[in-house]
Amino acid sequence: MFRVRVNTSSKAYDIEIETGLFKKLPQLFRSRYQGRRMALISDDRVFALYGEKFFRKLREQGFDAIAVTFPERQKNLRTLERIYNALADASFTRSDYVIALGGGVTGDMAGLAAATFLRGMGFILIPTTLLAMVDSSIGGKVAVDMDQGKNLIGAFYQPDAVYTDPGLLTTLDNRCFSDGMAELIKQSVIRDKDLFYFIETSENRSGLTGQLDEIIGESCRLKAAIVEQDERDTGLRQILNFGHTIGHAIEKVQNYQGLTHGEAVSVGMIFITRITERLGLTRPGTLQRLEGILKSFDLPVTMPPVDRTELAQAIRIDKKSRSGFITVAYLREIGECDLIGWSFEELEEHLFAQLEN
């Protein structure tokens, strides 16, 4: 069992990571949360795979529990309202718990419900995608999307506990797994060269078999350390945006119908490193290793066909470029990252030069 303690100004809690943990949870919950009511939130797919049985077991352990399910990827106000209604109809109180069983969509939305219903109730995360295990379940960012943009309504709300069972990933499809690998590779390449090497030598998904508890544990430790120093995302946490400035722009230009988030970040990491290696800011050879590891996990390293003017425009309207300057995270070498401020025109010039290569 790996245990990562997260100390934030609002809450201190543990992330417990162990293959096989999920099966033990109903009984464990009885010893930890007896007498509390539980609202289990899952999308339809995860509920069918894991939620239904888990819900039954919770009730067998004597919990007064309700379940709220929703169609996949519906992280919006309509689903949030359904959760509020279910909590209100069942007269949930502040000492009761919302349990998010699912990926980042479920965690973000259930977290926002927990943060706002009665101005804050108990919140437990059971992440079921790799992305949720290494990224969205750490740091307390909770939100829903609007038609006008992603994550527009949100809050910072830390969970009371995170229970991570890498065994649940066996049912995850390869594309979704690779999506999470993009974030995992990003965390290692900005902060931990040993973890990067460990992943690099594992080569592919099957090479990670038996290593996931450790890798996910290390990755949680890295993100937790950054979040602890910058809970509200005003400074150090910006290094987690490595690859995201260009990545977000690709997603936007493709109207969120093209590359997945992880795939877009993969291309973003490559392009920013191509720029900074050429400028002499990044140690030579870094790009090659980054390309190698991303490719081995089936992540793209070339720009999809997008209009470069639209791409530049999308970067300009990204929230990080409001002042005309963009803070960009870049690699000094594998395992070391820094921030640099560029005017929008500078970034555009560097990017266009790389797109022509």
Ligand X SMILES: NC(=O)c1ccc[n+]([C@@H]2O[C@H](COP(=O)([O-])OP(=O)(O)OC[C@H]3O[C@@H](n4cnc5c(N)ncnc54)[C@H](O)[C@@H]3O)[C@@H](O)[C@H]2O)c1
Residues forming contacts to ligand X in the complex (CB under 6 A) are 43, 45-46, 49, 72-73, 75, 102-106, 108, 128-129, 131-132, 135-136, 139, 141, 150-151, 168-169, 171-172, 176, 179
Residue 9 or 357 having the CB closest to ligand X: 9
Tokens of 195: 């973890």
Cα separation, 339 vs 114, whole angstroms: 34
* Distance in Å, CB of 39 to ligand X, minimum: 18
Q: Residue 172 Cβ, how far from ligand X at the closest point, in Å?
A: 4
Distance in Å, CB of 182 to ligand X, minimum: 10
HSE (side-chain half, CA atoms, 13 Å) at 20: 3
Q: What span, in angstroms and rounded, lies between the C-alpha atoms of 265 and 14? A: 28
State the nearest-atom distance from the C-beta of 93 to ligand X, in Å. Answer: 26
| Residue with Cβ nearer ligand X (6 or 312) | 6
Q: How many Å apart are CA 236 and CA 227, to the nearest integer?
A: 8
Q: What are phi and psi of 2, to 5 degrees?
A: -100, 135
Which is nearer to ligand X, 49 or 124 (by Cβ)? 49
Give 271's Cβ-side CA count (13 Å radius): 31
CB of 180 to ligand X, least distance (A): 7
**Residue 122 DSSP SS3:** strand
Q: Which of residues 212 and 351 has its CB atom nearest to ligand X in the complex?
A: 212
Indicate the pairing of strand 65-70 with strand 97-102.
Answer: unpaired
Q: Which is nearer to ligand X, 141 or 350 (CB)?
A: 141
CB of 166 to ligand X, least distance (A): 10
Distance separating alpha carbons of residues 23 and 21, to the nearest angstrom: 6
Nearer to ligand X, 170 or 201 (CB): 170
Residue 6: in which H helix or E strand, if any?
Answer: strand 2-7
